[in-house]
């Protein structure tokens, strides 16, 4: 059986995005303000991908799998970046906390994530099962393709 750590990240997030859109599209929905919001103060524009909400959900699930238990503050730092301040040096800024909170709340409603008291959020058994299933499918598809760069996976 494959785990999330053994598959290419980009391929895994694409496959998990499709899985979330296919199985949870009735419960995971982007809020109405998601089309107009920036993902952090370090960004100058809104996301251009039409399905960026599902992609961010997939990315949050992967981070929860890799880091085990993580809170909103740490996730904000993970999705942050450097603020362009003109001729002044770039300074680190956190990502949007509202986006992270809404995504975690939706994933809790679906049953993929649970809240641990004073530690943050962690994946449930259902969430781990979903991610392992997708990782296995991605690894088998990568092995079928004869791409030399992906042989290490």
Residue 22 in any domain: the answer is yes
Greater confidence, 105 or 46? 105
Residue 34 in any domain: the answer is yes
Residue 97 in any domain: the answer is yes
pLDDT band at residue 133 using 50, 70 and 90 as cut-offs: very high
Residue 44 in any domain: the answer is yes
Residue 93 in any domain: the answer is yes
Residue 63 in any domain: the answer is yes
Residue 59 in any domain: the answer is yes
pLDDT of residue 29: 84
Hey, what are 63's tokens?
A: 């981070």
**pLDDT at residue 113 is higher than 90:** yes
CB hemisphere CA count around 68 (13 angstroms) = 1
pLDDT of residue 152: 63
Q: Please, what is the average pLDDT of the chain?
A: 86
Q: Which range marks the domain in which residue 61 is found? A: 4-146
Q: What is the CATH number of the domain that holds 137?
A: 1.10.10.10
Hey, what are 124's tokens?
A: 């449930």
**pLDDT at residue 80 is higher than 90:** no
pLDDT of residue 153: 58
| Mean pLDDT on 88-116 | 90
Comparing CA positions, the residue from 150, 138, 119 lying closest to residue 58 is: 138
Residue 152 in any domain: the answer is no
The mean-pLDDT minimum among 40-54, 61-75, 92-106, 118-132 falls in 40-54
- Cα 8 from chain centre: 14
The sign of the dihedral angle between the CA atoms of 75, 97, 17, 44 is negative
Number of domains in the chain: 1
């Amino acid at each position: 059986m494959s785990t999330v750590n053994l598959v290419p990240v980009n391929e895994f997030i694409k496959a998990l995005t499709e899985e979330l859109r296919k199985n949870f599209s009735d419960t995971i929905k982007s809020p109405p303000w998601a089309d107009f919001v920036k993902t952090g103060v370090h960004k100058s524009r809104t996301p251009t991908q039409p399905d960026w909400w599902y992609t961010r959900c997939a990315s949050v699930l992967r981070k929860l799998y890799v880091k085990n238990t993580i809170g909103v503050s740490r996730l904000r730092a993970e999705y942050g970046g450097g603020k362009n301040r003109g001729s002044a040096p770039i300074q680190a800024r956190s990502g949007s906390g509202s986006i992270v909170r809404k995504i975690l709340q939706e994933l809790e409603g679906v049953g993929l994530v649970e809240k641990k008291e004073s530690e943050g959020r962690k994946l449930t058994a259902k969430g781990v099962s979903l991610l392992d299933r997708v990782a296995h499918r991605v690894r088998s598809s990568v092995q079928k393709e004869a791409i030399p760069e992906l042989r290490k996976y």
